[in-house]
């Protein structure tokens, strides 16, 4: 009996088209490549930053210079020449976010082409968007409506100007500037990103969303996102990303910090579709991201949901520090690596408070020569009485040249903790495929249906419109995978 | 004496190997240099069935395992640093049974390297008994090479309050080779027991099973890395690993790393890990049926631990179960005493509070 | 002209082992035929070959479905042309709900025929009605395809799909195995409700008991990869009394 999925599929299925792969021809102000203190001073000056922030950046830069890139992950790539990257690129017309009417129509066109609701009246009801183009935020929708509710949603550059005390209080409080190599780099050179502040008792009236776009050649994107929910506040935040198809690799080293105080709740969803490179592994984004949430208050709740289909390399571990008693951390992830993509992703759940609970559902799909690693840590500290964790990692392999690895670490120092971990590895069964085809589904559709079924537990955590996008993205990303 | 052990030439090598694995335990040299409390636990004393004959050759170095008899091989360290380098061969299509009895006394170090070649169609059963006393150190490296259709079964029974480190690597080089490991560890005191079990599936249709159960008391710490490696050639691999731990005391710790590294697509690999304390609901249920809390605890502990020993030879099952039963009863009783002490402390607290009111 | 399915001199093998050795069978529109045979006679191979399973290699012979060469068609093309196989061992597909599968299957059909996709409400109504007749709960419909279903539930689910997809030819492979007497009655009612002059059913079974509830137009005895005898429903009764022994291949 043949053990491989039918070979003729390769010819049946077309090549993957990366729809967001166009470039926008727009005049940009770009710093020349290179990184030293003067670049950091230039960025800071360009953004008219207060002295304390410049100091913070310079300190991070000093730390970064003393650090070496992490070598423990499974991903492989040639050394990055940090002097060949430009650390600041902004559309010339953009002098910081302003009202939508003033934004360069070419920019808005770009986002519309990507399907992002930029016009408030035409927007999907209930989603406010911050658009980050290369290094700067170009527009934020629904600011007024949010302000009426007391919610601050702006670019982080703007927040530094308007709410410096808030930014200063929380920036780097979850991911310290010297946390790791890429976080240190980000702290030194971050250019923009989103800032969300939901005050005490407020439920954010709409979904917030940031859409990241890398356009310019040879630039890196170093965005910094900071979300703070005060006591009893809650917010749901969505993040999307795309980049043009370019032959060279581009670096994306972001930092995301979430702070949830007492009874606060933050739901952070990502659909990551950076350009993955072509089928031979040429080009694509290096996505080296540090995301961490701090459940600082009692009964707080942070939930990460990610669908990672893009990037040449993904290195990312959205984590939760469960500090507050009875706090809850969740991580739902679908990661796909096709062609030569590599993904090393997972989460850390650090249980410090009593009766803290965490759930990890990670689904990895490897196809072609893709390589996929789930790397996780569940740590129960000596005071985390009654901690609970449930972890489930499932891998789906498509084709015989891919790899799937599961590297979980469980450390338990409290007897009352209950920890459960399950992992499975499977492939698309010939009989499953045949069953669906015998009901009239084409091969491609059958594969897509099985893969979507495999991911269902994660997709149902996504906001509705994102779930639909994620499913479609997964199907597109898998085209040509079966053969 | 401890400081002298730390200066042994092997200590540096072992330290380096430990650092390489980035495993969160104190480097070997620190271990060796720090004085340990003397043993208070009961030493392991299993009556072995009469047909288990000593195998002096086995302990001397190269040994062609003689399939006709069941053997007992002792690896003992009573004092100082004891090094052993063994190479065993199990000829094709034979069956061998070995009890590998490892004893390390307080203040001693056992440094054992065991290489075994398992021929095509051969079977090797090992009952690994480990008792490292508090203040003793056992370092073992096992390397198995398995030809096609061979099968290795290891049943491990580990007790003690000392420090042990086992690095096992079994290479399934021939098709349909099988590796099975079942381990029960009952640890107390300051025990630190690390097991790194790596199984490499290098040929088609091989099978591996790891199942470890740990009952941890005192301030013991158990670390288990199960690494299942499936190479491209390892199609139709069937692999499962499970690690379940019961933490009986606030000072006990467990670290588990059930890893899968997979490079073939037609595989079935699963792993599971759980950790927790005794199930209070079950305890309550048993007590509501009239069992005293000691008995109820012992029953629950036995139901968790003893099934592991079910694969032992008939003649060995009874002594193993008896020994484990006694130790579990003691661990359960310690637990009852501790929880009674906690309750009465709470009671005192209440009384004092009332007194103040 | 009126024959819907025409199998002639079919030879098929699995992993190089010949299983079907010259099987011929003709089934007219609106007819119900039963193929009976002992274990290993080639019954399931016949079903799998009809559905287009890739592991089964047809080495000689032909199958025509409504005048078209079936062996030339992909499994999904056969389904869209109106062939339905109720599997002996329906596979589990975690996470894909039964409803979702039915919707996708109906949409694929509509698309291939250039028709409008059925409206969600229509679809749901149809599925619910069919499900109710088979004692399939809404909760089961929402679960993954056959996920965690008992043997009997899987078989009922196959019949549900058959009723919703309304095939022109339903090939039911051992649909009765693993069913208790009540379930057989429910399933038989489902099959009987499908009977009309345009639809045909090929029942593949080991036992006669399903035929107590569904009266076939013809019964074929399959032994050693070929039809050894054909006749009316009475043939099944004879078989029940006498067993397959008399059809055993004669030593050459």
Q: Which of A435, A457, A461 to mutate to test the interface with C (most CBs of C within 10 A)?
A: A435
Do the two chains C and A touch, given a threshold of 8 Å on CB pairs and at least 3 pairs?
yes
pLDDT in tens, A197-243: 999 999 998 888 887 776 666 667 888 999 999 999 999 998 886 66
A453 to chain C: closest CA residue: C95
- Interface predicted TM-score (ipTM): 0.82
CA distance A8 to A395: 24
Has residue B39 got a pLDDT over 60? no
pLDDT in tens, B174-224: 999 999 999 999 999 889 999 999 999 999 999 999 999 999 999 999 999
**Span B111-121, mean pLDDT?**
94
Residues of C with Cβ-Cβ distance to A425 under 8 angstroms: none
Domain boundaries, chain C: 3-247
CB contact (8 A) between residue B267 and residue A399: no
CA distance C195 to C30: 7
| pLDDT for the residue A242 | 66
Has residue C62 got a pLDDT over 50? yes
For residue C45, give how far its alpha carbon lies from the nearest alpha carbon of chain A (Å). Answer: 13
CA distance B181 to B240: 11
| pLDDT for the residue B337 | 76
**Span A305-333, mean pLDDT?**
93
Residues of A with Cβ-Cβ distance to B267 under 8 angstroms: 397, 425, 427
Tell me how many degrees the CA angle A375-A378-A383 measures, rounded to the nearest 5: 160
CB contact (8 A) between residue A429 and residue C105: no
CA distance A262 to A229: 9
* Phi and psi angles of residue B19, each rounded to the nearest 5 degrees, phi first: -65, -35
Select the more confidently predicted residue: B288 or B76.
B76
Q: Which two tokens stand for residue B161?
A: 């309050």
Range with the largest mean pLDDT of A251-260, A367-376, C85-94:
A251-260
CB contact (8 A) between residue B267 and residue A417: no
Per-residue confidence at B333, pLDDT binned at 50, 70, 90? Answer: confident
pLDDT in tens, A390-412: 999 999 988 888 888 988 888 99
Q: What mean pLDDT value characterizes chain A?
A: 83
Residues of A with Cβ-Cβ distance to B258 under 8 angstroms: 406, 408, 421, 423
CA distance A92 to C67: 68
B214 near A CB under 8 A: no
| pLDDT for the residue A218 | 62
First to last CA, chain B: 57
| pLDDT for the residue B350 | 43
Select the more confidently predicted residue: A175 or A3.
A175
| pLDDT for the residue B154 | 97
CB contact (8 A) between residue C161 and residue A439: yes
Select the more confidently predicted residue: C51 or A321.
A321
Compare CB distances from A450 to C55, C80, C93 and report the shortest one's residue: C93
> Out of A380-384, B116-120, B350-354, which region has the weakest mean confidence (pLDDT)?
B350-354
A410 near B CB under 8 A: yes
Within 8 A by CB and 6+ apart from C200, the residues are: C4, C5, C27, C28, C29, C30, C31, C32, C33, C168, C169, C170
Helices (H), C43-97: 43-51, 75-81
Residues of C with Cβ-Cβ distance to A430 under 8 angstroms: 54-55
CB contact (8 A) between residue B260 and residue A421: no
| pLDDT for the residue C5 | 95
pLDDT in tens, A424-451: 888 888 889 999 999 999 888 898 889 8
pLDDT in tens, A22-50: 666 666 777 888 899 999 999 899 889 99
| pLDDT for the residue A415 | 87
Q: What mean pLDDT value characterizes chain B?
A: 85
Q: What mean pLDDT value characterizes chain C?
A: 89
Has residue B354 got a pLDDT over 70? no
Q: DSSP characters for B158-226?
A: EEESSEEEEEEEEEE-STT-EEEEEEEEEE-TT-EEEEEEEEEE-STT-EEEEEEEEEE-TT-EEEEEE
Please answer whether residues C99 and C125 qualify as being in contact, where contact means their C-beta atoms are separated by less than 8 angstroms: no
CB contact (8 A) between residue A441 and residue C105: yes
Run of H or E residues at B349: helix B314-356
Half-sphere exposure of C112 (CA within 13 A, CB side): 17
Interface of A with C in 403-432 (CB under 8 A): 429-432
- C touches which chains (3+ CB pairs under 8 A)? A
- For the C3-247 domain, the top CATH level (class) is alpha beta
pLDDT in tens, C129-146: 999 988 889 888 888 888
| pLDDT for the residue A252 | 86
Please answer whether residues B214 and B185 qualify as being in contact, where contact means their C-beta atoms are separated by less than 8 angstroms: yes
Has residue A4 got a pLDDT over 50? no
pLDDT in tens, A237-287: 988 866 666 667 788 899 999 999 999 999 999 888 877 788 777 888 888
Compare CB distances from A408 to B258, B265, B269 and report the shortest one's residue: B258
| pLDDT for the residue A8 | 34
Select the more confidently predicted residue: B45 or C70.
C70
**Span A184-195, mean pLDDT?**
92
Please answer whether residues C61 and C48 qualify as being in contact, where contact means their C-beta atoms are separated by less than 8 angstroms: no
Range with the largest mean pLDDT of A294-298, A336-340, B289-293, C103-107:
A294-298
Tell me how many degrees the CA angle C60-C61-C66 measures, rounded to the nearest 5: 145
Query: In the 3-class helix/strand/coil scheme, how is A56-80 assigned residue by residue?
Result: HHHHHHHHHHCCCCCCCCCCCCCCC
pLDDT in tens, A93-116: 555 555 566 666 666 676 666 666
Do the two chains C and B touch, given a threshold of 8 Å on CB pairs and at least 3 pairs?
no
**Inter-chain contacts counted by CB atoms under 8 A, chains A and C:** 86
Do the two chains A and B touch, given a threshold of 8 Å on CB pairs and at least 3 pairs?
yes
Compare CB distances from B262 to A404, A415, A416 and report the shortest one's residue: A404
| pLDDT for the residue B321 | 92
CA distance A279 to A370: 10
| pLDDT for the residue A87 | 86
| pLDDT for the residue B21 | 62
Compare CB distances from C95 to A430, A434, A453 and report the shortest one's residue: A453
């Amino acid at each position: 009996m043949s053990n491989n999925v039918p070979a003729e599929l390769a010819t049946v299925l077309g090549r993957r088209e990366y729809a967001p792969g166009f470039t926008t021809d727009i005049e940009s102000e770009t710093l020349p490549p290179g990184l030293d203190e003067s670049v950091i001073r230039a960025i800071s000056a360009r953004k008219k930053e207060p002295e304390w922030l410049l100091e913070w950046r310079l300190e991070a830069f000093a730390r970064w210079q003393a650090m070496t890139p992490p070598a423990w992950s499974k991903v492989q790539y040639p050394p990055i020449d940090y002097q060949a990257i430009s650390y600041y690129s902004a559309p010339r017309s953009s002098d910081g976010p302003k009202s939508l009417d003033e934004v360069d129509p070419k920019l808005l066109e770009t986002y519309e082409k990507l399907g992002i609701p930029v016009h408030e009246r035409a927007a999907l009801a209930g989603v406010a968007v911050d658009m980050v183009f290369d290094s700067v935020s170009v527009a934020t929708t629904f600011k007024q409506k949010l302000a009426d509710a007391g919610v601050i949603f702006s670019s982080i550059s703007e927040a530094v100007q308007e709410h410096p005390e808030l930014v200063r209080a929380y920036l780097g409080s979850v991911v310290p500037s010297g946390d790791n190599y890429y976080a240190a780099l980000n702290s030194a050179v971050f250019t923009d990103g989103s800032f969300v502040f939901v005050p005490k008792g407020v439920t954010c009236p709409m979904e917030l969303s940031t859409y990241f776009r890398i356009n310019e050649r040879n630039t890196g994107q170093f965005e910094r996102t900071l979300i703070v929910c005060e006591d009893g506040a809650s917010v749901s935040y969505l993040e999307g990303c795309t980049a043009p198809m370019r032959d060279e690799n581009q670096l994306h080293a972001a930092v995301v910090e979430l702070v949830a105080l007492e009874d606060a709740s933050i739901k952070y969803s990502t659909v990551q579709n950076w350009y993955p490179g072509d089928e031979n592994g040429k080009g694509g984004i290096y996505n080296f991201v540090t995301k961490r949430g701090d459940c600082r208050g009692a009964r707080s709740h942070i939930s990460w949901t990610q669908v990672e289909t893009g990037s040449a390399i993904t290195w990312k571990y959205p984590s939760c520090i469960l500090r507050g008693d009875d706090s809850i951390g969740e991580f739902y992830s679908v990661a796909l690596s096709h062609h030569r993509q590599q993904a090393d992703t997972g989460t850390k759940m650090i249980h410090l408070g009593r009766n803290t609970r965490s759930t990890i559902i990670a689904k990895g799909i490897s196809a072609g020569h893709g390589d996929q690693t789930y790397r996780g840590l569940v740590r129960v500290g000596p005071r985390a009485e009654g901690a609970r964790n449930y972890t489930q990692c499932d891998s789906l392999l498509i084709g015989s040249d891919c790899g799937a690895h599961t590297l979980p670490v469980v450390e338990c120092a409290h007897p009352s903790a209950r920890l459960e971990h399950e992992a499975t590895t499977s492939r698309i069964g010939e009989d499953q495929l045949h069953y669906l085809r015998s009901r009239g589904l084409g091969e491609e559709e059958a594969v897509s249906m099985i893969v979507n079924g495999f991911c269902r537990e994660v997709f149902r955590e996504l906001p509705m419109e994102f779930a639909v996008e994620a499913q479609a993205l997964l199907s597109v990303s898998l085209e040509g995978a079966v053969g | 004496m401890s400081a002298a052990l730390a200066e042994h030439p092997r200590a540096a090598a072992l330290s380096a190997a430990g650092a390489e694995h980035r495993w969160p335990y104190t480097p070997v040299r620190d271990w060796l240099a720090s004085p340990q409390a003397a043993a208070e636990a009961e030493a392991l004393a299993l009556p072995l069935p009469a047909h288990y004959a000593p195998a002096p050759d086995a302990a001397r170095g190269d040994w062609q395992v003689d399939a006709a008899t069941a053997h007992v091989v002792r690896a003992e360290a009573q004092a100082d640093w004891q090094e052993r380098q063994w190479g065993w061969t199990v000829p094709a299509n034979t069956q061998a049974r070995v009890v590998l009895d490892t004893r390390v006394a307080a203040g001693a170090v056992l440094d054992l390297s065991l290489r075994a070649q398992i021929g095509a169609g051969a079977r090797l059963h090992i009952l690994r008994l480990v008792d490292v006393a508090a203040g003793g150190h056992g370092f073992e490296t096992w390397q198995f090479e398995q030809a096609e259709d061979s099968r290795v079964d290891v049943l491990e029974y580990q007790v003690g309050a000392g420090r042990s480190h086992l690095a096992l690597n079994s290479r399934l080089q021939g098709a349909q080779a099988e590796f099975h490991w079942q381990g029960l560890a009952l640890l107390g005191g300051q025990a630190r027991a690390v097991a790194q079990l790596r199984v490499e599936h290098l040929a088609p249709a091989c099978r591996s099973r790891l199942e470890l159960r740990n009952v941890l008391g005192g301030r013991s710490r158990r670390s288990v890395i199960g690494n299942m490696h499936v190479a491209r050639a390892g199609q139709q691999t069937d692999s499962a690993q499970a690690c379940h731990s019961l933490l009986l005391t606030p000072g006990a710790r467990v670290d588990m790393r059930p890893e899968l590294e997979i490079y073939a697509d037609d595989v079935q690999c699963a792993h599971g890990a759980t950790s927790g304390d005794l199930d209070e609901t079950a305890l309550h249920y048993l007590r509501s049926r009239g069992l005293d809390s000691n008995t109820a605890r012992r029953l629950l502990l036995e139901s968790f631990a003893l099934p592991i020993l079910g694969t032992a030879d008939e003649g060995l099952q009874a002594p193993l179960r008896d020994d484990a039963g006694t130790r579990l009863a003691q661990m359960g009783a310690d637990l009852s005493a501790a929880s009674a002490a906690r309750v009465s402390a709470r009671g005192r607290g209440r009384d004092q509070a009332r007194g103040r009111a | 002209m009126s024959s819907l399915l025409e199998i002639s001199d079919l030879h098929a093998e699995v992993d190089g082992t010949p299983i079907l050795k010259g099987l011929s069978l003709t089934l007219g529109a609106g007819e119900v035929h039963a193929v009976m045979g002992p274990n290993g006679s080639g019954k399931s191979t016949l079903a799998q070959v009809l559905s287009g399973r890739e592991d089964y290699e047809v080495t000689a012979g032909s199958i025509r479905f409504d005048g078209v060469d079936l062996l030339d068609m992909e499994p999904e093309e056969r389904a869209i042309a109106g062939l339905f196989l109720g599997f002996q061992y329906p596979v589990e597909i975690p996470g894909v709900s039964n409803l979702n599968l039915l919707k996708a299957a109906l949409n694929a059909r509509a698309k291939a025929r250039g028709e409008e996709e059925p409206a969600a409400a229509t679809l749901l109504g149809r599925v619910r009605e069919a499900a109710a007749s088979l004692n399939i709960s809404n909760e089961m419909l929402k679960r993954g395809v056959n996920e965690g279903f008992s043997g009997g539930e899987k078989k009922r689910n196959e019949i549900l799909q058959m009723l919703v997809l309304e095939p022109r030819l339903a090939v039911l492979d051992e649909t009765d195995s693993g069913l208790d007497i009540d379930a057989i009655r429910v399933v038989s009612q489902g099959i009987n409700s499908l009977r009309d002059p345009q639809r045909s059913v090929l029942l593949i079974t080991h036992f006669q008991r399903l035929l107590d509830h569904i009266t076939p137009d013809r019964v074929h005895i399959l032994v050693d990869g070929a039809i050894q005898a054909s006749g009316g429903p009475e043939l099944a009764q004879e078989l029940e009394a006498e067993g397959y022994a008399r059809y055993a291949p004669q030593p050459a």
